[in-house]
Amino acid sequence: MKKQMVNDWEITVVKKVALSNPVLIEGLPGIGNVGKIVVDYLVEELDADKIMVFFSYDLPNSVFVNEDNLVELPKIEMYHKKINGKDFLFLAGDVQPSSERASYVFSELVLNIVEKHGCKEIITLGGIGLSEPPEKPAVFCAGNNEVFVKKFLSKGAKNNVYGLVGPIIGLSGLLVGMSAKRNIKSTALLAETFGHPMYLGLKGARSSIKVLNKVYDFKVSLTSLNREIRLVEKEELEYEEGSTSASLQKIKKLKEINYIG
């Protein structure tokens, strides 16, 4: 493994791959953790290969407990998978940079990496927080290129985002905005979800994956995600009907293990 320092970020190259005009899909924690759920699910279902790990003191000052009850420092990772002859990069991780400046610096770093390999398309993922959990979450898109946005509108996304959301915070917004200077077409896919800090936007993630499946022909099965949605709904229903507080703790633990930790 090769390591290098770039603008206070340690980059560890886990696996070298030859890339040609890759598409970058970003999904880091945010509202409902929608983006993180989508990318984590795609990485697992597509059996993508980890190729890079990013670490910096600009990440939050915390550690995560893994399934072996050992602690791990926060990190952001890049995965790769060739699908239908095209290279796809997936930016996944436990956290986002902890300051506004660090978010800009890291976004610039990611753009430098993908631009070097001829990246022409970027999709970022996030959520739109609603006051109630949506039963059938819609997916909205906003981008830096009208023609590119229409590509997603034709597959079921909506574009009447103006007035619906405020600023798109973090890498999901910055990568779209900053890539415009480099003539890289980018769009943010934002799925409706419940705006509660403990809520996991599994249904919003499913809606986003459906759009990506149609645009890029991933053919990713939703069976596992549908099963998890049913499981969480069953647990929540049992709690609402008067189950013990242990049931709620089980739900919280399930969410933390699968998507937050």
Residue 233 maps to a domain? no
Mean pLDDT of 50-74: 96
Residue 241 maps to a domain? no
Residue 246 maps to a domain? no
Residue 231 maps to a domain? no
Q: Is the pLDDT of residue 254 over 50?
A: no
pLDDT score at 246: 54
Range of the domain at 145: 2-221
Residue 87 maps to a domain? yes
Span 94-139, pLDDT tens digits: 999 999 999 999 999 999 999 999 999 999 999 999 999 999 999 9
pLDDT score at 241: 67
Write the CB contacts of 106 (distance below 8 Å, at least 6 apart in sequence): 9, 54, 56, 58, 76, 97, 171
Residue 182 maps to a domain? yes
Residue 101 maps to a domain? yes
Helices 223-240, 34-46: inter-axial angle, 10-degree rounding: 140
Q: Is the pLDDT of residue 245 over 50?
A: yes
Mean pLDDT of 78-107: 97
The count of structural domains within the chain is 1
The CATH number linked to 205 is 3.40.50.10900
Structure tokens at 60: 């939050």
Residue 242 maps to a domain? no
pLDDT score at 256: 47
